[in-house]
């Protein structure tokens, strides 16, 4: 059972007690992501995520790391286009310590100028790593083309040019504008108790906003066709369609559609491209959803001389579904897969923490496991075909990456 507490300042605490585990997972979820940045700020959300680990008024970066290493716990964070999450997983006996340290990082980070300059070098390396990773490099450029001159299309890591300008003043200004109580959900799952909830409320329920919550402009997805060149052995292909938003009533249908087309190894694309023709090792599809837009993407890597053939096979598979739909048998198999993977993926406290954090941060309806399975079971083939065919009637956007001549 999930309990929700709203602190007097508006911070929400979401608790799911799991008495069959000794673990406690804690996540601080913030509605701050790269899509809320100005062009000059591009990358600052991710930079702040790094900087919160670099020392507080009472703890050095090494002391923060040693605290979790000594107790065998995990401390990490990630930045997405629409949120940031700082999370820790520890034994129940160390949960209060984890909350103390997370709160210290969240409110008392010093953003020392020397640490800022050092961390810029670390992120320069992270940017270079992405540039050396073909699928990451291609995805970044494709998103820029799908959402041109919009924050949603800008790279999460930012650029070397924007990163070079970041300083303590910019960090504090951005946090004051976005790290607001109404933008924060504390998700806790595992062997928690009332004392932990009281401590979280004491640490996070008293600070006040110093700015008004800003509204983001709804993104506009473009139809694009781009070709990139890079020193790569394999050609890369991405095909994208406008899709459903995260909160769409029929969003679960999209998950079934994706599973059937390219989400698993028995999917149509995997079987047609890899198993039947041997044209690729990597071929898959995936949905990306936000509260105000969605994109469904197919990705494949292949030898350059096979690129045209691979694209034709993919287009044939999608055209067949757009015309004739999917079958009852495919729907039954896909729903069984999704039911099994959904339950198995919730075998840890951290998984429950992450699921609940995402749901409540985005003001979605929370369904327990049995409700999710029942709702999935009730989806019909007709509903799935309606979603698939509505999506595939759009003109796709295409990105290709080939070896430099």
Q: What percent of the chain has pLDDT over 70?
A: 99
| pLDDT of 216 strictly over 90 | no
**49 part of the active site:** yes
Among 8, 84, 81, CA closest to 51: 84
Angstrom distance (rounded) from CA 204 to CA 8:
10
* Residue range 347-377, pLDDT digits in tens: 999 999 999 999 999 999 999 999 999 999 9
- The phi, psi pair for 5, rounded to 5°, reads -120, 135
The per-residue pLDDT of the chain, averaged, comes to 96
| pLDDT of 213 strictly over 70 | no
- What ranges do the domains of the chain cover? 2-204, 225-403
Decide yes or no: CATH 3.10.270.10 for domain 225-403: no
Parallel, antiparallel or unpaired: strands 184-190 and 12-17: parallel
Angstrom distance (rounded) from CA 221 to CA 357:
27
Angstrom distance (rounded) from CA 277 to CA 265:
14
- Which CATH number among 3.40.50.880, 3.40.350.10, 3.20.20.80, 3.30.830.10 corresponds to the domain 2-204? 3.30.830.10
| pLDDT of 327 strictly over 90 | yes
Determine contact, residues 385/325, Cβ cutoff 8 Å: yes
Angstrom distance (rounded) from CA 201 to CA 204:
5
Region 8-34 average pLDDT: 97
pTM comes to 0.95
* Residue range 43-98, pLDDT digits in tens: 999 999 999 999 999 999 999 999 999 999 999 999 999 999 999 999 999 999 99
CB atoms within 10 A of CB 323: 9
pLDDT band for 214, please (50, 70, 90 cuts). Answer: low
Angstrom distance (rounded) from CA 342 to CA 53:
32
Q: Which residues contact 155 (CB under 8 A, 6 or more apart)?
A: 34, 42, 43, 140, 143, 144
pLDDT of residue 209: 83
3-state secondary structure (DSSP) of residue 17: strand
Q: How many helices (H) and strands (E) does the chain have?
A: 15, 11
Distances (CA, A) of 137 to 53, 134, 172, 221, 287: 27, 5, 30, 20, 19
Among 397, 355, 37, CA closest to 239: 397
The beta-strand segments (E) located in 222-351 are 225-230, 235-242, 282-289, 294-302
Angstrom distance (rounded) from CA 384 to CA 380:
6
* Residue range 265-290, pLDDT digits in tens: 999 999 999 999 999 999 999 999 99
Angstrom distance (rounded) from CA 16 to CA 359:
13
Determine contact, residues 159/46, Cβ cutoff 8 Å: no
Q: What percent of the chain has pLDDT over 90?
A: 96
> What count of residues does the chain have?
405
Angstrom distance (rounded) from CA 189 to CA 243:
32
Q: Which of 41, 49, 119, 330 is catalytic?
A: 49
């Amino acid at each position: 059972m999930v309990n929700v507490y709203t602190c007097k300042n508006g911070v929400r605490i979401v608790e799911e007690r799991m008495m069959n585990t000794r673990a406690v997972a804690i996540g601080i979820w913030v509605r701050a992501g790269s899509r809320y940045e100005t062009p000059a700020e591009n990358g600052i959300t991710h930079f702040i995520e790094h900087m919160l680990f670099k020392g507080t008024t009472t703890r050095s970066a090494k002391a923060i790391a040693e605290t979790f290493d000594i107790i065998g716990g995990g401390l990490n964070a990630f930045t997405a286009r629409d949120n940031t999450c700082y999370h820790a997983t520890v034994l129940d006996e160390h949960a209060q310590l984890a909350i103390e340290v997370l709160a210290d990082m969240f409110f008392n980070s010093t953003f020392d100028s020397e640490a800022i300059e050092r961390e810029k070098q670390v992120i320069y390396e992270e940017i270079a790593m992405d540039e050396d990773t073909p699928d990451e490099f291609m995805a970044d450029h494709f998103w820029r083309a799908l959402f041109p001159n919009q924050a949603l299309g800008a790279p999460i890591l930012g650029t070397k040019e924007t990163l070079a300008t970041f300083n303590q003043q910019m960090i504090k200004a951005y946090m004051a504008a976005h790290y607001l109580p109404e933008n924060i959900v504390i998700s806790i799952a595992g062997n928690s108790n009332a004392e932990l909830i009281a401590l979280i409320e004491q640490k996070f329920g008293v600070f006040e906003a110093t700015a008004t919550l800003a509204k983001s402009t709804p993104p506009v997805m473009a139809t694009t066709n781009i070709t990139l060149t890079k020193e790569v052995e394999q050609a890369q292909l991405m095909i994208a369609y406008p899709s459903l938003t995260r909160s769409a009533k029929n969003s679960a249908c999209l998950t079934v559609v994706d599973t059937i087309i390219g989400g698993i190894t028995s999917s149509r694309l995997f079987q047609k491209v890899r198993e039947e023709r041997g044209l690729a090792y990597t071929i898959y599809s995936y949905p990306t959803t936000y509260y105000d837009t969605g994109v469904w993407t197919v990705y494949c890597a292949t030898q350059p001389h096979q690129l045209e053939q691979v694209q034709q096979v993919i287009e044939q598979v999608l055209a067949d579904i757009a015309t004739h739909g999917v079958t009852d048998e495919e729907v039954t198999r896909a729903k069984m897969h999704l039911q099994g993977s959904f339950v198995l993926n919730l075998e840890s406290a951290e998984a429950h923490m992450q699921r609940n954090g995402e749901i409540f941060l985005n003001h979605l309806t929370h369904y327990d496991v049995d409700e999710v399975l029942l709702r999935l079971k009730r989806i019909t083939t007709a509903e799935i075909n309606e979603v698939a065919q509505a999506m595939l009637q759009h003109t796709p956007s295409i990105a290709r990456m080939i070896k430099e001549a």
